[in-house]
Amino acid sequence: MAKNPTIDLLKGVLILLVMGGHVMELTGGHDLVLWVGSGFRMPMMVGISGYLLNINRTRSDSASTLFSRYGRRMLLPWAFAGIVYMLAGGEALHWTLPFDLLFRPPFHLWYVPALFFLIMLTRLLPFSPLVLLAIGTPVSLAVMYGFGLGHGPVGDGLLSLDSRFLRYPIYFFFGMLMAERRISMRYLPIALMVAVLGLLWWSGLYDGDNELAFVPARLLMCLGLIALLPMLSALRLECAPVNAIGRDSLFFYLWHPLIMGGMMMTGVGPVATLALSILLLAFANRLTARGTLLPLLFGSVPERQSAPPALPAAPLPA
pLDDT tens-place string over residues 71-121: 999 999 999 999 999 888 877 778 888 888 899 988 899 999 999 999 999
Distance of CA 223 to the CA centre of its chain: 16
Q: What is the pLDDT of residues 144-164, one digit of tens each?
A: 998 888 888 888 888 889 999
**Residue 162 forms beta bridges with which residues?**
153
Examine the pLDDT at 171 and tell me if it is beyond 90.
yes
- Residues 232-245 have pLDDT tens digits of 888 888 899 999 99
In the DSSP assignment, the letter for residue 91 is P
User: Given this model, what pLDDT does residue 1 score?
Assistant: 53
Residue in 286, 278, 285 with CA at minimum distance from that of residue 259: 278
Domain ranges of the chain: 5-14+29-243
For residues 281 and 249, is the Cβ–Cβ distance under 8 A? Answer: no
Rounded Cα distance between 163 and 168, Å, is 9
Q: Is the model's pTM score more than 0.85? A: yes
Nearest to residue 103, comparing CAs of 154, 57, 53? 154
Q: Tell me the three state secondary structure of residue 5.
A: helix
Q: What does the pLDDT average to over 195-204?
A: 95
Residue 306 has pLDDT above 80, yes or no: no
Please, are residues 154 and 160 in contact by the beta-carbon 8 Å criterion? yes
- For residues 245 and 16, the answer to whether their CB atoms sit within 8 Å is yes
pLDDT at 318: 36
Whole-number Å distance between alpha carbons of 175 and 44: 9
DSSP result, 105-171: --TTTTHHHHHHHHHHHHHHS---HHHHHHHHHHHHHHHHHHH-SS--BSSSSTTPPBHHHHHSHHH
Tens-digit pLDDT profile for residues 175-190: 999 999 877 777 888 9
